[in-house]
Amino acid sequence: MKLTPSHRLYGLGAILLVALTICSGSFSRMGEPSFFIPLAVAGVAYLLAIRELFFAPEFPKRVIVFGLALSALWQFQFLRMPPGLDDDIHRYVWDGRLQRLGYNPYIVVPSDPALASLHTSETRTLNNPEVPSPYPPGAQLFFRGVTSIHESTFALKLAFVLCDLAIVFVLLDVSCVVPGRESTGFWLMPGTHC
């Protein structure tokens, strides 16, 4: 039996979800094969799925819905996953917090002992504490906006997922040739928000 492009996409999407779920449970072992092998499998599955999306003449709507459902499951996994001790998201919280307190994240160095009282439990472990923020002004405004609503790594992760969802809706709206291809390809790609 020959597999149709739709069936190949179903299979590749499922492989991608399972591989990334395994990978998300192995973040504490980033340098080990138990992390890199599922990550490599997910990467290959993603590239093959994108190839299917762009080379098949058309897909039934159920394939696009399936792809978006799988990607929603990955977004849920992303929200469930606790951030690592040195993940960039701790710096995002720090930068947003600093701005709200009236400090300039491009001048302040997080490891400055005089600023130790500004740290929270989520910002004490940020990476590269000996240098000021490297993030551009647009990102800084985003960090400030999100932390003004709620100051936590989860709030930032939720904001990233909502931004991804907004991009999907924009892509669905502007996608005229084959509706949903671009948005499915985008949302199937994990880490677009990290």
The string of pLDDT tens digits covering residues 23-58 is: 877 666 777 888 889 999 999 999 998 888 888 777
pTM of this prediction? Answer: 0.75
Picking from 152, 146, 137, the residue whose alpha carbon sits closest to that of residue 105 is 137
Kindly state the tokens that stand for 70. 């799988």
Question: How many CA atoms lie less than 13 Å away from 42 in the CB half-sphere?
Answer: 21
Are 183 and 63 a contacting pair, CB within 8 Å? no
Q: Per-10-residue mean pLDDT for the chain, 194 residues long?
A: 84 89 74 87 92 79 80 82 81 96 95 93 90 95 97 95 84 54 53 45
The string of pLDDT tens digits covering residues 97-114 is: 999 999 999 999 999 999
Residues 6+ apart with CB under 8 A from 136: none
Per-residue pLDDT at 120 = 93
